[in-house]
Structure 1
Amino acid sequence: MRSASAGAASAMLLVGTSTAVSATIADYPVLAGQALRYALAAAILLAVVRHQRLPRVRPTARDLVLLAALSATGLAGFNLFLVAATRHAGPAMIGTVVGAVPLVLALVGPLMERRRAAPHTVGAALVVALGAAVAAGLGSGSPQGLLLSLGALVCEVAFSLLAVPLLPRIGPLRVAAYPAALSVPLLLTASLALEGPGALRLPSSGEAAAFTYLGAIVTAAAFFLWYDALRRLGADRAGLFAGLVPVGALLTTVALGLGGAGPADVIGALLVTAGVAIGLRQPGRGSRGPHRSRDALGEPTTGNGSARTPRNA
């Protein structure tokens, strides 16, 4: 539980750092930049899969459909909705809507595992979502901006929920790698259609450094840490840590001298921390039942492909 919690917290804090880092590539076409980021991440993750010589796992037709849906929604779709939402709503409103991820996962995650949502976890998720909303600020925007923000929220939730049935069979490393690779042609096609052929240009040295960080750390490392924690904690409890994204953004912004921490930022961070602490104090259900044998990267070892546990871990 401690290592899984540490992994989930680290993943979301790393994702939060992308806000400040992305400010350094504001002049680079967004969708083309995301394609570069995911291409680098996929190359790193697939290289690790090959280097570790993990047991061969042939994805089923159902696995392929889920992987395609995950790349189309949780990666490519999320970026498309986010870019479109910024044209009709401010960052505060978008952040507030997307900050409801912990609450949605606390409600929907258990239903996918055929169990009731634990009131304790739902209450903790409400505190986390409130903290994320306070940290982001209750901004204003048009109805169209709200709908697009809700689309980004749905895609962000799909990023976790679509992975849940995949993790027992193919493991967190491959679940992180395959959608990243599949999202690249989708983002490149969207970039050509929406940003034009000129979007596919070589980044400057500074932009290349930012994309390297986003691809290697925020995507490759954070995705693996998140999916590894997701299979061990379950979607509802792991979802609590999604509220740490604005905390990571705040810490990075202050550390890089890009801004200060206002009262709302501090209060929001404290609420998120309190909500996560409350949720993790719930009597652990994830420890029930047999656990699969796994290697150091959390991948399923041979001979255990048919085992099942209450949390699909």
Structure 2
Amino acid sequence: MRQNTTPRGLVQAALAMTLVGTLTAVSAAIARYPVYGGQAVRYAVAAVILLAVARFGDRSRASRPRPRLTVREWSLVAALAATGLAGFNVCVVEGTRYTTPAMIGTVVGAVPVLLAVVAPLMERRRPAPRLVVAAMIVTLGATAANGLGGGSLQGLLLALGALAGEMAFSLLAVPLLPKLGPMRVSAYSAAAATPMLLVVGLLVDGTAVVRIPTAGEAAGFAYLVIVVTVGAFLLWYDALGRIGADRAGLFAGLIPVSAVATTMVLGLGRPSAAELVGALLVGCGVAAGLGRRVRRPAPVIAVTPGRESVRVAEASRP
């Protein structure tokens, strides 16, 4: 898919990260449910929904064959599920045993800067200085919104693991998107992450890994499945294909801002001065990173028919 900066990709990236940010407030509804079993159920149900929608789409486009993955592509799906989904959840959950959620959020808040640098290098192009600077502003804003917190070395290492998982969630999906599209990348990764989380859950919680949820927990899981998983995954992966991981990464700074806003809307708390300053910095960083670039004239080589001479003329890019 050709990358550009059309409003659709920008809006989808912003909306996806805003929806993910609401997870913090909604998680209170499922706080007493076994964590890993709950996440496994979440991804399993989401995978069923996504695969059903993809199958319906295949029937409506009977002339288009279903994509068949190579061994390398299946390996990418497995790696995406193990790191960006299962691994990320394990690092976040276990990390809270050794450090504060604020510390984990601060470390993971470095995602915009890393994506602005790593994503272009993976595509064999230079990082855009404007995007790197903008990503640094976004990261500062996310840090201010999260707070610094504290903790042990184990907590820091697990926070770095969560950061790596968040990076992998985007970077490992990029080579799969042209062939599979957002729907199947989301479905396959969610399906692959389900047994991984169940195994971890069995090791941690034993036979209590899953149970029948209460009415409130069921409502919370329904929101996580439909909005945060199916909706946000599709929006994010489609945005990656349209605007690139380096630009899309700027919107990761919206997660703590959305978390604060959701908490305030639900009447669970009021934003502090630091959170408001952080939200302002995130907005400034995103605006700076997505501002229109001034394009330099590029030389166009014109070959005169019947001659061997080549004339170089200055012309603006369309």
The answer, yes or no, to whether TM exceeds 0.5 is: yes
Q: Which residue of 1 aligns with 2:281?
A: 271
AA partner of residue 22 (structure 1): S
Following superposition, the deviation at residue 39 of structure 1 comes to: 1.0
Equivalent residue runs for 1:15-30 within 5 Å: 15-30=20-35
Mapped partners of 2:26, 2:117: distance in 1: 32
Mapped partners of 2:183, 2:217: distance in 1: 27
Provide the aligned C-alpha RMSD in A. 1.2
Following superposition, the deviation at residue 181 of structure 1 comes to: 0.6
Q: 57, 71, 81: which one pairs with 2:81? A: 71
AA partner of residue 181 (structure 2): G
Q: Which residue of 2 aligns with 1:291?
A: none
Mapped partners of 1:211, 1:267: distance in 2: 32
Instruction: Tell me, yes or no, if the aligned pair for 2:84 and 2:165 is still in contact at 8 Å.
Output: yes
AA partner of residue 47 (structure 1): A
Equivalent residue runs for 1:18-167 within 5 Å: 18-53=23-58, 55=64, 56-167=66-177
AA partner of residue 7 (structure 2): R
Please give the per-residue CA displacement for 1:262-297, whole angstroms capped at 9, x wherever unaligned. 101111111111111111114399xxxxxxxxxxxx
* Bigger Rg over Cα: 2
Q: Which residue of 2 aligns with 1:4?
A: 9
AA partner of residue 169 (structure 2): F
Q: Which residue of 2 aligns with 1:259?
A: 269
Q: Which residue of 1 aligns with 2:19?
A: 14
Instruction: Tell me, yes or no, if the aligned pair for 2:25 and 2:259 is still in contact at 8 Å.
Output: yes
Mapped partners of 1:254, 1:278: distance in 2: 27
Q: Which residue of 1 aligns with 2:304?
A: none
Q: Which residue of 2 aligns with 1:200?
A: 210
Instruction: Tell me, yes or no, if the aligned pair for 1:120 and 1:282 is still in contact at 8 Å.
Output: no
Instruction: Tell me, yes or no, if the aligned pair for 1:73 and 1:155 is still in contact at 8 Å.
Output: yes
Structure 1 regions of 5+ residues with no counterpart?
286-313
Cα distance change, pair 272–200 in 1 and its aligned pair in 2 (3 A): same
Q: Which residue of 2 aligns with 1:297?
A: none
Following superposition, the deviation at residue 143 of structure 1 comes to: 1.2
AA partner of residue 147 (structure 1): L
Following superposition, the deviation at residue 199 of structure 1 comes to: 2.3
Q: Which residue of 2 aligns with 1:293?
A: none
Mapped partners of 1:52, 1:160: distance in 2: 24
AA partner of residue 210 (structure 1): G
Aligned residues: 285
Instruction: Tell me, yes or no, if the aligned pair for 2:198 and 2:209 is still in contact at 8 Å.
Output: no
- Give the secondary structure class of the aligned counterpart of 2:268: coil
Please give the per-residue CA displacement for 1:118-154, whole angstroms capped at 9, x wherever unaligned. 0000000000111000000011111111111000000
- Give the secondary structure class of the aligned counterpart of 1:196: helix
Mapped partners of 2:189, 2:257: distance in 1: 26
AA partner of residue 59 (structure 1): L
Runs of 4+ residues deviating >2 angstroms: 282-285
Please give the per-residue CA displacement for 1:234-284, whole angstroms capped at 9, x wherever unaligned. 110010011110111111101111111110111111111111111111439
Cα distance change, pair 284–48 in 1 and its aligned pair in 2 (3 A): farther
Per the normalisation by structure 1, the TM-score is: 0.89
Structure 2 regions of 5+ residues with no counterpart?
1-5, 296-318
Q: Which residue of 1 aligns with 2:193?
A: 183
